Amino acid sequence: MTPAPVPPVPVPAPDSVPVSVPHNGPLVTEDDIAAVTEALRSGWLATGPRTAALEAAFAERFHPLHASAVSSGTAGLTLALRGAGLGDNGATVAVPTYGCSALLDAVLVAGCTPLVVDVTERTLGIDPGRLDPAHPIDAVIAVHTHGHPADLDALRPKTALLVEDCCQSLGGRDERGRPLGAIGDASVFSFYATKVIAAGEGGMLLQRDPAARDHVRGYQDPGAREVYAPRFNHRLSDPAAALALSQFRRLDEIAAHRRAVAARYTAALPPHVAPPPGLAPGQVPYRYCLRAAGRAQQQRWIGHLRAAGIAADPLIPARHLLHRQLGLEPREYPVAERVVDSTVSVPLFAALTEEQADRVAEALTGLPD
């Protein structure tokens, strides 16, 4: 029996208009299929030589950091904290409120205390100006949101441990040309189905300190525990590692495609629409997010794009902002509260074809006021 085709990532479709350009979708090439097939034929399904090869590839690109493959980005963030000895002691970890709930999960599962901070209008990363010097923090998880580099230089003096969340920024560089993921003390990547590299699930943790790396070994693989203590299993399987490695080898190509599509969109914008504020040379755009003047314009733009069969998306609803998830006062987070009501994310993904990009560009040109 022929297996059913794998459906694309589901997108919230408008009522009646068929969506022909989805919001996301992975690109699986013949090379990827051959790499996974080879892993399956080898009979080695558990963590093994392909996982080690993936770690080696990251360690080479991000020299001198040490690489540990893990089961997800969330697992990597948890272990970034644990590796620095921050587990189970209520250490304060600052996270941006405009982010995915994985940030809260990682901090709380590690036994730390989240300090949720508003973001900057431009990068959507944590706003260093909102970190009160009177309130000591043990770690910052700086997210390079949508691929835009967070302000690491301003964050550095405010924290003992600087963790870069690179789940949306693999392959990018900051304004000074430094590779994102090679600047902080630790950095974390995700290989979830919608990320820059899509292996279904998976992640990578990079750490500068070899002792911190050794410390997470027993967490990464419970079989490596020296002394028994209850732990999750954070291992990556070899078929997933084979897929991630095959895509990692194409990273420069994937990055060039994303940059070209973003440039094509920017060139198509009418004069009354500004390009995404955080976009800058060097980065790998993960999302292409226009910023409307407010909710009414956001809805008009989304309506216009969806009527053209394009799955434009507001991304994070206000209720998913991390401060709201913790029941904190929305007025304390004015930037993030404004951003959710103005964001219009336009399809930008590895499998996006030339024709689809043209179609999106054409619709962008016609954006209403």
Ligand X SMILES: *Cc1c(COP(=O)(O)O)cnc(C)c1O
List residues binding ligand X (CB under 6 A). 72-74, 99-100, 102, 143, 165, 167-168, 190, 192, 203
Q: Shortest approach of ligand X to residue 99 CB, angstroms?
A: 6
Backbone angles phi, psi at 6, to 5 degrees: -75, 125
Q: Which is nearer to ligand X, 348 or 364 (CB)?
A: 348
Q: Shortest approach of ligand X to residue 296 CB, angstroms?
A: 28
For tokens 């974390």, name the residue. 188
Q: Shortest approach of ligand X to residue 192 CB, angstroms?
A: 4
| Closest residue by beta carbon to ligand X | 73
Q: Which is nearer to ligand X, 35 or 143 (CB)?
A: 143
Q: Give the number of other CB atoms < 10 A from CB of residue 246.
A: 24
Q: Running DSSP on this structure, what letter comes out for residue 194?
A: T
Q: Which is nearer to ligand X, 72 or 298 (CB)?
A: 72
Q: Give the number of other CB atoms < 10 A from CB of residue 211.
A: 11
* Three-state secondary structure string covering 29-78: CHHHHHHHHHHHHHCCCCCCHHHHHHHHHHHHHCCCCEEEEECCHHHHHH
Q: Shortest approach of ligand X to residue 15 CB, angstroms?
A: 29
Q: Which is nearer to ligand X, 101 or 365 (CB)?
A: 101
Q: Shortest approach of ligand X to residue 320 CB, angstroms?
A: 13
Instruction: Say how far apart CA 289 and CA 234 lie, in whole Å.
Output: 33
Instruction: Say how far apart CA 73 and CA 167 lie, in whole Å.
Output: 7
Structure tokens at 73: 């980005």
The one-letter code for the residue type at 55 is E
**What CA–CA distances, in Å, run from 72 to 76, 129, 149, 235, 283?**
6, 30, 21, 9, 23
| Contact present, 131 and 158 (Cβ < 8 Å) | yes
Instruction: Say how far apart CA 102 and CA 350 lie, in whole Å.
Output: 23
Q: Shortest approach of ligand X to residue 150 CB, angstroms?
A: 11
Q: Shortest approach of ligand X to residue 336 CB, angstroms?
A: 14
Q: Which is nearer to ligand X, 102 or 255 (CB)?
A: 102
Q: Which is nearer to ligand X, 163 or 363 (CB)?
A: 163
Q: Which is nearer to ligand X, 73 or 128 (CB)?
A: 73
